């Protein structure tokens, strides 16, 4: 399957299933819409699946690991060797996201999309040993970008066949906030200074350096904002490309995908620009503390239920949403209805005198 064929599989969400889920929420004996964005999330999953009754178990967090050549420009506190160290920690179940996922009843999968060195325990989906330095030239070839996207989509297909019903996106790769800021700047048409943050904790001078590198990457590569694959190939990372594929795959194979922070939001916007209907599979979890995050969510027309200043990465913010969805589904599926307790149902009165 090529990228065009993948996108051709993606259809519009089911309005009938969305209406049935909305009616189910309205029948529950509580104030209408009182669970806010959690109700919206359940309705969106129903529309994606095409049926009112849904399940979000079992579930997994996909942590895509890759190295970025732009680290050579001194845009991070740490070197590329840290990517492999943390990826190994994730693969062994010892990273932050692993502890959080245990409580959220989710499996964590570490996927090597292109680290500088192979790491035991990671699924091998390597495209190359890291990307090129975007400050000096393109990150990857166009065909590599498409291959990485298709890897992400194929992983969704495989996990759906294994019975998974909810996936979360995560990543690990030193330098990937720089790549993400460059991609965001190209897609949104905004200056890098508005979109580039401190990542893992840069000083003021380090942030200025990072912004200058993003500006240089845009000038050197001259990405075409009307061609998302061109933007990805010139400025992105293998982790970004794979997550883009996960969002496309989620829409194609009817599996809801949780966004995490900045990097997965950039990936989601790439998927949306490649195929607008892919938005139906996307569920925002939180709004990252990185400055581009809110602008990316606005471009996707998605609202994040969690506003906690998170910026850990690894898919940790997406995992935080899972227990909230469980709670919402408990109300949706098990709470008494107005009819069952003999109470007149509430009516939607917005806009009425």
Question: What pLDDT does 289 receive?
Answer: 86
pLDDT for 152 beyond 80: yes
Residue 314 region, left (φ>0) first, then alpha (ψ -120 to 50), else beta? left
- Region 22-49 average pLDDT: 96
Question: How many structural domains are present in the chain?
Answer: 1
Residue 344 lies in a domain: no
Residue 12 lies in a domain: no
Cα(173)–Cα(242) distance, rounded to whole angstroms? 13
User: pLDDT grade, residue 353 (50/70/90)?
Assistant: low
User: pLDDT grade, residue 338 (50/70/90)?
Assistant: confident
CATH of residue 293's domain is 3.40.50.10210
Other C-beta atoms closer than 10 Å to the C-beta of 343 total: 11
Residue 8 lies in a domain: no
Residue 30 lies in a domain: no
Percent of the chain residues topping a pLDDT of 70: 98
Question: What pLDDT does 331 receive?
Answer: 97
Question: What pLDDT does 345 receive?
Answer: 78
Q: Which residue has the higher pLDDT, 349 or 73?
A: 73
Other C-beta atoms closer than 10 Å to the C-beta of 129 total: 12
Give the three-class secondary structure for 153. Answer: helix
Best CA proximity match to 249, nearest among 143, 158, 113:
158
| Structural domain of 296 | 59-322
Question: What pLDDT does 198 receive?
Answer: 80
Question: What pLDDT does 301 receive?
Answer: 97
Pairing type for strands 166-172 and 123-124 reads unpaired
User: pLDDT grade, residue 269 (50/70/90)?
Assistant: very high
Question: What pLDDT does 349 receive?
Answer: 64
Q: What does the pLDDT look like over 172-187, one tens digit per residue?
A: 999 999 999 999 999 9
Cα(244)–Cα(149) distance, rounded to whole angstroms? 6
Other C-beta atoms closer than 10 Å to the C-beta of 34 total: 12
- Region 140-159 average pLDDT: 98
Catalytically annotated residue among 39, 73, 146, 314? 314
| 314 annotated active-site | yes
pLDDT for 348 beyond 90: no
Q: What does the pLDDT look like over 68-121, one tens digit per residue?
A: 999 999 988 889 999 999 999 999 999 999 999 999 999 999 999 999 999 999
Cα(179)–Cα(251) distance, rounded to whole angstroms? 25
Residue 19 lies in a domain: no
Residue 276 lies in a domain: yes
Question: What pLDDT does 339 receive?
Answer: 84
Q: Which residue has the higher pLDDT, 222 or 198?
A: 222
The residues with which 171 forms a beta bridge, in sequence order, are 64
- Region 1-18 average pLDDT: 96
- Region 313-324 average pLDDT: 97
The single residue listed with the structure tokens 């194979």 is 253
- Region 50-61 average pLDDT: 97
Residue 39 lies in a domain: no
- The answer to whether the CB of 292 falls within 8 A of the CB of 180 is yes
User: pLDDT grade, residue 291 (50/70/90)?
Assistant: confident
Mean residue pLDDT of the chain comes to 95
Question: What pLDDT does 1 receive?
Answer: 87
Residue 329 lies in a domain: no
- Region 128-155 average pLDDT: 98
- The answer to whether the CB of 152 falls within 8 A of the CB of 241 is yes
DSSP state letter for 276? G
DSSP state letter for 75? -
Question: What pLDDT does 48 receive?
Answer: 98
pLDDT for 156 beyond 80: yes
């Amino acid at each position: 399957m090529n990228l065009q064929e993948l996108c051709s599989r993606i259809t519009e969400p089911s309005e009938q299933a969305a209406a049935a889920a909305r009616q189910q929420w309205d029948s529950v004996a509580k104030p209408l819409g009182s669970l806010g964005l959690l109700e919206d999330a359940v309705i969106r999953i129903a529309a994606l699946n095409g049926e009112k009754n849904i399940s979000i178990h079992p579930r997994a967090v996909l942590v895509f690991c890759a190295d970025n050549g732009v680290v050579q420009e001194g845009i991070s506190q740490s070197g590329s060797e840290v990517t492999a160290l943390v990826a190994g920690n994730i693969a062994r179940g010892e990273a932050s996201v692993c502890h959080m996922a245990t409580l959220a009843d989710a499996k964590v999968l570490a996927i090597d999309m292109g680290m500088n060195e192979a790491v035991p325990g990671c699924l091998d989906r390597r495209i190359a040993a890291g990307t090129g330095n975007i400050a000096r030239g393109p990150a990857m070839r166009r065909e590599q970008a498409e291959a990485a996207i298709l890897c992400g989509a194929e992983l969704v297909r495989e996990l759906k066949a294994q019975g998974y019903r909810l996936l979360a996106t995560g990543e690990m790769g030193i330098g990937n906030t720089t790549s993400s800021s460059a991609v965001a700047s190209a897609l949104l048409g905004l200056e890098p200074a508005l979109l580039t943050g401190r990542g893992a904790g840069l000083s003021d001078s380090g942030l200025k350096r990072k912004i200058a590198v993003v500006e240089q990457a845009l000038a050197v590569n001259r990405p075409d904002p009307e061609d998302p694959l061109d933007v990805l190939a010139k400025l992105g990372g293998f982790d970004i490309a794979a997550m883009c594929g996960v969002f496309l795959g989620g829409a194609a194979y009817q599996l809801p995908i949780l966004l995490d922070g900045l990097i997965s939001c950039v990936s989601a916007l790439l998927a949306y620009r490649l195929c607008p209907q892919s938005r139906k599979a996307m569920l925002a979890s939180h709004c990252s503390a990185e400055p581009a995050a809110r602008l990316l969510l606005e471009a996707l027309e998605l609202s994040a239920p969690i506003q906690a200043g998170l910026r850990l990465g690894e898919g940790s913010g997406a995992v935080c949403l899972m227990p909230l969805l469980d709670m919402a589904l408990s109300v949706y599926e098990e709470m008494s209805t107005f009819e069952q307790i003999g109470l007149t149902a509430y009516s939607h009165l917005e806009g009425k005198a």
